[in-house]
Structure 1
Amino acid sequence: MRAFGRDRGMCAWDDFAQSSIDARLALAGARSGQIPPFLMLSVPGMSARDHRVCSELWTRDRLAASGAERSRLDFRFDLGVRDKLRVGYLSNDFHDHATAHLLIEALEANDRTRCELHAFSFGADDGGTMRGRLSRAFDVFHDITALSDSDAATAVHAAAIDILVDLKGFTRGARTGILMLHPAPVQVNFLGYPGTLGRDICDYMITDAFITPPSAAADYAESFAYMPHSYQPHGRASLGPPPARGDVGLPESGFVFCCFNQAYKFTPDVFDIWCRLLAESPDSLLWLLASDQAQGNLRGEALRRGVSPDRLVFAPELDQKAHLRRLQLADLVLDTAPYGAHTTASDALWAGVPILTCAGDTLASRVAGSLLHAVGLSELIASDEADYVAVALTLAAEPDLLQAAKARLRRNRLVAPLFDAPAFARSLEDLYAQMWDRWRRGVGHAAIWAAATPPR
């Protein structure tokens, strides 16, 4: 199963079909811990139920092994009335990271009379601007980097955290072992990982009705905690004027298809579609995020599909401010499948660039659709592959239609709930209050819905 690791990031696809078959066989054989759940998200043909099976196989042995330590710690919780809830956020991304950029304005908008926010950080302090903002946004900032899982869980419990929110899931550097010890009475899966963590880890998943409709409940171990619009926060960072096309390596003319997703999300089928779009839109180009590992392979794959490698333009990594400025030069962002755009999608929409997606049945495939709904552009959610191609070709061939979509996006983004961090914070606080109320009353966890807050 080589393509689950290094080969996916390199877009080395010779064994791609076989690796997908191997993944299905591993799940069917119930082999514990064979496939990291995060890597399974980008394997075509997997359902949300498959993702749950993968997560539970991945954690099965670790959960069993944690039982003795959980019993030894024997955490007890105070169910008394609170003036305000203590909410802890667990992550190693409290620095210049996509999760921090998404969440920072909602944290800063927290009503401190309702929630006292604690960070539990197990990542390095880079001394950067974002680290400083995060330190100020939280009421208390705990550095648990040097602590074992047991000691970290004890620190969470000692801080009397009512609701512990995990921002990592199964992404790089995650410490789900802390969650397995249940140091808080309510534990929540949010934002960092687009899928279920499996049984006996988190009680709730913060979500929305597009990415996880109620009919999908059996595919997730957590109960759904529904935000009224998209589950993803995004602030209103200053954009600034776009640079000249030549300054970022783009030719002076030509339609710019764009995808700044990481290369491991690309599949041969998706790249087939993109090359078809380039072939049928002669003056177009495809703007991708630079990758030392993948660029040569992608140019070779384009050539094999009859497209000149020169029509792929690679953009280097930039800081968030510079990235948002250049992103405004794209004409249409193309989503990937089955693992679609998340932060890159909301960044594009804030920059005024429409995104075209085709939603599947997994959470990872439906985020861009959720964002488009929240910003009033649901017509850019294609019904199938043929519709995706047709919409892309139409927008590339008809400038008036594209400009109309961009104009509507520019109007909507200033009033849409997607970019209203204070309203998002109020809805999040509403969910936390409901979670705590259910816990105090001893009625267990179940699907809950936050009240919508009027846009500012």
Structure 2
Amino acid sequence: MCEWEHFTDSAPHMRALLARNEADKLPPFLLLAEPGMSAREQFACSELWTRDRLAASRIKRERLDFRFDLASREKIRVGYLSSDFHDHATALLLIEMLEAHDRAHFEVHAFSYGADDGKLMRGRIRSAVDVFHDLSAITDVDAACAIHQAGIDILVDLKGYTQGARTGILMLRPAPVQVNYLGYPGTLGAGICDYIITDPFVTPLASAADYSESFAYMPNSYQPRGRKGTIGPKPSRADVGLPETGFVFCCFNQAFKLTPDVFDSWCRLLGATTDSVLWLLRSEYAEGNLKGEALSRGIAGSRLVFAPDMGQEGHLGRLQLADLVLDTAPYGAHTTASDALWAGVPIVTNPGETFPSRVAGSLLRAVGLPELIACGEQDYFDIASSLAADPTRLETFKARLQQDRFTAPLFDVAAYTLALENLYETMWLRRVADLQPAAIWARTPRPHAF
């Protein structure tokens, strides 16, 4: 809602809950967007959140007594677990990778506990996997049994602690290897997953102590993104409510990611850039508050333009009207960042130490624009303001994006999938050899000996 009058009270309250060791009081997702919270505190919160749940699941696990077949096989069975196998940001990122999986060496299952929205993405996902399982109407115990009966070797969770998650399935350990991937930018806590798919920028090796999972490193960015996403026609400025002239700063992140400090920087940019506007995603709860916050910083509320939610193709089309995308912190742009880059719009980011704050930086490195990764709040402002004042330099960045879209690692889904499969193979071979999870790096060629 962007009601910030008591914003600074939140972090001390969260830390007090952690200090009192009170389980069930502090959902881990909340810490991801809280300024000043360290990766170590996020880890402590996840451990606390799962402590009693894990203890409660132990009796069920012992009763289920799952045993695993680790014998040699022709294909590794990989199962993706999520409620988002429909028209959702996770599915949009994931779909081309699912379609690119090597069926000669992998059998791919989707385990869905979300609703069928009846849209094209649902059908596309069904076609992209070997077996689609609907778990929506059954209990966690029955879902875990279904996963185990399918003989899944590597269970990949795509939800973590985001809305609608069913981590209770993972706590029952229905697969010999369990992986935290894509849906939740942080650790799930001990006893949930063995590995987290990541990259060296998002989680440097020195941060390993802040995660219960071992790092499984992709060579470029951990985030998948293909090249089939259709960019709709570029509308006129009038069509989307933008003024005919003036610089367009843009951020389509959800309102919960906006903070007073970030908004301070944005209003400074508006003040320093004549006739500029800030294009934001519409939120019925936050819009009025943000206009008031702008006014209190000397910026007319009319310089904030709000865009309605819309389908992906049209959204990518309208994104082309933005001059520069501004990232948030400490919870930055993820899908919205790769959307902007695919549409040819540069993004400026200011990474911190936590996973959610570093994703846009990872994407910029994978698309060949590390110059747009700031080193602090002032550098963030300086980069953005200098680009707004220098159209020629900004156009150079845009031209590089347009030129490199079909060669940059960020959008090379075939190479990405090969690297991910290499990580799966390494995880599986370590498990067969009775080796504990440890940091691993994607390498080629793949062994193909299971």
Give me the TM-score of the superposition, normalised by structure 1: 0.96
Counterpart position of 1:108: 99
Which residue of structure 1 lines up, in the alignment, with residue 221 of structure 2? 230
* SS of 2:325 mapped into structure 1: strand
Offset of 1:240 from its aligned partner?
3.6
1:6 is matched with which residue? none
Alignment of 1:154-165 (within 5 A): 154-165=145-156
Residue 76 of structure 2 is aligned to residue 76 of structure 1: no
Give the secondary-structure state (helix, strand or coil) at the position aligned to 1:382. coil
> Residue 330 of structure 2 aligns with which residue?
338
**168, 171, 175: which one pairs with 1:180?**
171
Equivalents in 2 of 1:95, 1:452: separation in Å? 32
Hey, what's the Cα distance between the residues in 2 that align with 1:285 and 1:89? 41
340, 356, 375: which one pairs with 2:348?
356
Which of 339, 344, 353 in structure 2 is aligned with 1:347? 339
The code of the aligned residue for 2:436 comes to: G
For 1:21-70, what per-residue CA distance to the aligned partner results, in whole angstroms no more than 9, with x for missing partners?
11122122222121111111000101111110011111111011111000
Q: Which of 404, 410, 431 pairs up with 1:439?
A: 431
Q: Distance in 1 between matches of 2:416 and 2:98?
A: 10
| 4+ long deviations beyond 4 Å | none
Q: Could you say which residue in structure 1 is the equivalent of 2:358?
A: 366
Would you say the 8 A contact 2:201–2:358 is kept in 1?
Answer: yes
Residues 114, 429 of structure 1: 8 Å contact kept: no
Deviation at 1:442, TM superposition (A): 0.4
2:448 is matched with: none
Aligned to 1:58: 49
- Aligned equivalents of 2:172 and 2:207: distance in 1? 27
Equivalent residue, structure 1, for 2:135:
144
> How much is the aligned-residue C-alpha RMSD, in angstroms?
0.8
* Unaligned 5+ runs, structure 2: 446-450
> Which residue is equivalent to 1:4?
none
CA distance in 1, matches of 2:192, 2:334: 24
Look up the equivalent residue of 2:50 and give its one-letter code: T
Map of 1:408 onto structure 2: 400
Partner of 1:129: 120
Partner of 1:7: none
CA offset digits 1:154-173 (Å, max 9, x no partner): 00000000000000000000
Q: 2:252 aligns with which of 260, 265, 289?
A: 260
Q: Secondary structure at the match of 2:298?
A: coil
* Partner in structure 1 of residue 272 of structure 2: 280
- Work out the CA distance in 2 between the residues paired with 1:451 and 1:254: 47
TM-score by length of 2: 0.98
Contact 1:118-1:140 within 8 A present in 2 as well: yes
Number of residue pairs the alignment of both structures matches:
444
- Equivalent-residue separation in structure 2 for 1:85 and 1:15 (angstroms): 51
Structure 1 residue 451: deviation in Å? 2.1
Give the corresponding residue for 2:310.
318
Kept in 1: contact 2:248–2:324 (CA 8 A): yes
How far, CA to CA, are the matches of 1:136 and 1:292 in structure 2? 37
Aligned residue for 2:349, secondary structure, equals strand
Query: In the alignment, is the contact (CA less than 8 A) between 1:359 and 1:366 conserved in 2?
Result: yes
The answer on whether the counterparts of 2:11 and 2:37 sit within 8 Å (CA) in structure 1 is no
2:4 is the alignment partner of 1:13: yes
Aligned match of 2:381 in 379, 382, 389? 389
Q: Is the 8 A contact 2:177 2:194 kept in 1?
A: yes
8 Å contact kept, 1:258–1:333: yes
Query: Contact 2:351–2:358 at 8 Å: present in 1 too?
Result: yes
SS of the equivalent of 1:191 reads coil
Q: Is the 8 A contact 2:224 2:416 kept in 1?
A: yes
Counterpart in 2 of 1:120? Answer: 111
Distance, in Å, in 2 between the alignment partners of 1:216 and 1:19 is 25
Instruction: Give the letter for the 1:34 counterpart.
Output: K
| Aligned partners of 2:94 and 2:224 also within 8 Å | yes
Local SS of the residue matching 1:32: coil
Matched position secondary structure for 1:242: coil
CA contact (8 A) 1:89 1:167 kept: yes
Instruction: Check conservation: 2:180, 2:196, Cα contact below 8 A.
Output: yes
| Letter of the 2:278 counterpart | L
Question: Contact 1:228–1:452 (CA<8 Å) still a contact in 2?
Answer: no
1:292 to 280, 284, 302: 284
1:251-293 deviations in Å (ceiling 9; x for gaps): 1111000000000000111111101110111211000000001
Match of 1:450 in 2: 442
Q: Does the aligned pair in 2 maintain the 1:357–1:369 contact within 8 Å?
A: yes
Whether the aligned pair in 2 keeps the contact of 1:348 and 1:355 (CA below 8 Å) is yes
User: Aligned-pair distance for 1:124?
Assistant: 0.8
Q: Which residue of 1 aligns with 2:157?
A: 166
Give the letter aligned to residue 235 of structure 1. Answer: G
Render the CA deviation track for 1:367-425: whole Å, top value 9, x for unaligned.
Answer: 00000000010010000111001111100011011001111111122101100111111
% same residue: 66
Verify the 8 A CA contact 2:233 2:314 in the aligned structure 1: no
For the pair 1:242 / 2:234, whether they are aligned, the reply is yes
| Preserved contact between residue 105 and residue 234 of structure 1 (Cα < 8 Å) | yes
Alpha-carbon distance, 1:452 to partner: 6.1
Secondary structure, aligned partner of 1:164: strand
- Residues 263 and 291 in structure 1, CA contact (< 8 A), matched pair in contact too: yes
Which residue identity is paired with 1:219?
D
Residues 422 and 444 of structure 2 are in contact (CA less than 8 Å); yes or no, is this contact kept in structure 1?
no
